[in-house]
Amino acid sequence: MRSEFETLAVAPQDAHVLLVTLNRPEVLNALNTQMGRDLVELFEGIAQEPGALRCIVLTGAGKAFCAGGDLKQRDGMTPAQWSAQHVVFERMARALLDCPVPLVAAVNGAAYGGGCEIAAACDFLYAAESAKFALPEAKLGIMPGAGGTQTLARAVGEKRAKELVLTGKAFTAAQAERWGLVNEVLAADALLPAALASARTIAANAPLSTRQVKQAIGRGLRMSLADGLAFEIEAYNRLVPTEDRLEGVRAFNEKRQPHFTGR
């Protein structure tokens, strides 16, 4: 996995936890084509070869998480150029959603448009008290196109999602927490430590287990209850013959911390 990107800062916290920072603070981390490409490369690479990685925290540099699409770059684009750029953003959204490693967002400021979509594509979110969210695309003659109509609706429900996307109005971190998009609202200086603490807790668990849990919940919610239960059992049965299952039970009985290897 490459560690240097034009628009991202990638910083391993230890052998199992990776901090990824959207890194265009001079433009509030606005999403341009290069950032889309960088996110595709990073997350598709992780999907292909996660190695020892067990959890990822995604945040923004400076005072914003991501202000949305870079409209200065988009100004004057032909329809063909716009569509070509959007293919990159579509792949970006899928790369985030399909990442097998648990992905935690630490939303440190504005998460508008594509920034809100990036945050909503994560497995769960923590947000600073000052963070704000919006999907204002209808005000620009477009609509969310990087998963926003799907991920937001699954988080906050159909009626609330329609209200937010149809009006394009901004909402606060406290509202996002109350409606189910954000898990916890924290003071700015406590945000990243809390996200990293959760990441380390996840990383201490069996990595095969956490990846199967992520799939079972994510895919199961898109199925009927009966199909979701069947999928859960398939995921469960994949863990039975693993060395980590044996190690977990052995460590419990020996009253010690388990040493999981992902096998």
Q: What is the pLDDT of residues 133-154, one digit of tens each?
A: 999 999 999 999 999 999 999 9
Q: What is the pLDDT of residues 158-170, one digit of tens each?
A: 999 999 999 999 9
Give me the mean pLDDT over the 46-62 stretch: 96
Q: What is the pLDDT of residues 2-37, one digit of tens each?
A: 779 999 999 999 999 999 999 999 999 999 999 999
The residues that are catalytic are: 117, 137
Percent of the chain predicted with pLDDT > 70: 100
DSSP per residue over the chain, as a string? Answer: ---B-SSEEEEESSSSEEEEEE--GGGTT-B-HHHHHHHHHHHHHHHH--TT--EEEEEESTTEEE--B-HHHHTT--HHHHHHHHHHHHHHHHHHHT-SS-EEEEE-SEEETHHHHHHHTSSEEEEETT-EEE--GGGGT----SSHHHHHHHHH-HHHHHHHHHH---EEHHHHHHHTS-SEEE-HHHHHHHHHHHHHHHHHS-HHHHHHHHHHHHHHTTS-HHHHHHHHHHHHHHHTTSHHHHHHHHHHHTTS-------
Does the pLDDT at position 62 exceed 90?
yes
Give me the mean pLDDT over the 209-219 stretch: 94
Domain boundaries, the chain: 8-203, 206-253
**Residue 155 pLDDT grade (very low, low, confident, very high; cuts 50, 70, 90):** very high
Does the pLDDT at position 1 exceed 90?
no
CATH fourth-level superfamily of 8-203? 2-enoyl-CoA Hydratase; Chain A, domain 1 (3.90.226.10)
CATH fourth-level superfamily of 206-253? Lyase 2-enoyl-coa Hydratase, Chain  A, domain 2 (1.10.12.10)
pLDDT of residue 3: 79
